């Protein structure tokens, strides 16, 4: 009796994805098995990253473009979110795009623009949004496969406090809770060169927004804001252009 040949990849997928759903399993079982599939996928990605060969990470004279996703929370203004460990904090998604240029093996300049929001547990319809546009420089330590970084810069921060998608107003002055304020930031992170042109980056960023304005907002949201941000991203370094003879 002939048997059907199943490639190894098909067999693995059948075991991980199809088999768990046979026999009309319960919803709880389906959720548990899908979690297992995601864990296998994440483990596979991490394994590929750790085993991929890499050349030197000297990026002198090369421009890059990249994007990242993460989350953030306000950690200083009591009217924003209290502190990072406050039970009222409900961090949401943050994303950004940017580009830069490596002047030296150890010196990179970059600019980024992003958007994100956070929420309150006591009021699901109220959101605080932030749109930072930053310019800064980073110091890179070494040219290996893993490159630690530290940087700092300045930024322009647009923020809003929204209720049901409408900008709230101060209860006393009736000023809209929406401003463009200057600020500064500092970051630490590490770049992982999966291949010479592609980098996976991990960052922790602290922003200081000079938003203090007690005259306009006496009812709240009147202090300077500190923002703590966590990001994971990917950068693509363009090949350096060599001058002809």
58-82 per-position pLDDT tens digit: 789 999 999 999 999 888 655 554 4
Q: Same structural domain for residues 99 and 161?
A: yes
Residue from 186, 60, 63, 71 nearest 130 by CA: 71
Q: Same structural domain for residues 226 and 193?
A: yes
* Alpha-carbon span 117 to 185, nearest angstrom: 18
Q: How many structural domains comprise the chain?
A: 2
Max avg pLDDT among 74-88, 167-181, 192-206: 192-206
Burial bucket for residue 121 (CB in 10 Å: 0-12, 13-18, 19+) = exposed
**pLDDT bracket for residue 126 (50, 70, 90):** confident
Positions of E strands within the chain: 63-74, 89-104, 107-120, 123-140, 146-163, 166-167, 178-195, 198-209, 225-237
Q: Same structural domain for residues 67 and 181?
A: yes
37-63 per-position pLDDT tens digit: 556 555 555 555 444 444 446 789 999
Q: Say which CATH number the domain at 193 has.
A: 2.40.160.20
Residue 200 has pLDDT above 90, yes or no: yes
Residue 111: per-residue pLDDT: 97
Q: What's the token pair of residue 155? A: 């930024």
| 219 within domain boundaries | yes
- Write out the residue range of the structural domain in which residue 18 sits: 8-51
Q: Same structural domain for residues 34 and 132?
A: no
């Amino acid at each position: 009796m002939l048997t059907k040949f199943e490639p190894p990849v098909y067999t693995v997928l059948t075991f991980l994805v199809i088999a768990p759903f046979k026999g009309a399993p319960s919803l709880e079982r389906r959720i548990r098995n899908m979690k297992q599939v995601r864990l296998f996928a994440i483990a596979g990605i991490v394994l590929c990253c750790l085993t991929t060969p890499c050349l030197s990470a000297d990026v002198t004279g090369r421009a890059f473009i990249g994007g990242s996703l993460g989350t953030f929370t306000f950690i200083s203004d009591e009217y924003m979110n209290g502190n990072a460990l406050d039970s009222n904090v409900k961090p949401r998604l943050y994303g950004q795009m940017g580009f830069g240029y490596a002047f030296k093996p150890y010196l990179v300049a970059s600019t980024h623009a992003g958007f994100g929001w956070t929420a309150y547990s006591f009021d699901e319809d109220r959101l605080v949004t932030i749109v930072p546009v930053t310019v800064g420089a980073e110091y890179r330590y070494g040219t290996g496969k893993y490159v630690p970084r530290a940087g700092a810069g300045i930024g322009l921060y647009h923020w809003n406090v929204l209720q049901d998608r409408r900008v709230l107003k101060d209860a006393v002055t009736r000023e809209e809770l929406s401003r463009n304020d200057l600020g500064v930031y500092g970051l630490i992170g590490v770049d992982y060169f999966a291949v010479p042109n592609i980098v996976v980056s991990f960052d922790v960023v602290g922003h200081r927004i000079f938003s203090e304005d007690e005259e306009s907002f006496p009812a709240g949201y009147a202090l300077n804001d500190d923002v703590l941000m966590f990001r994971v991203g990917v950068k693509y370094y363009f090949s350096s252009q060599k001058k002809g003879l």
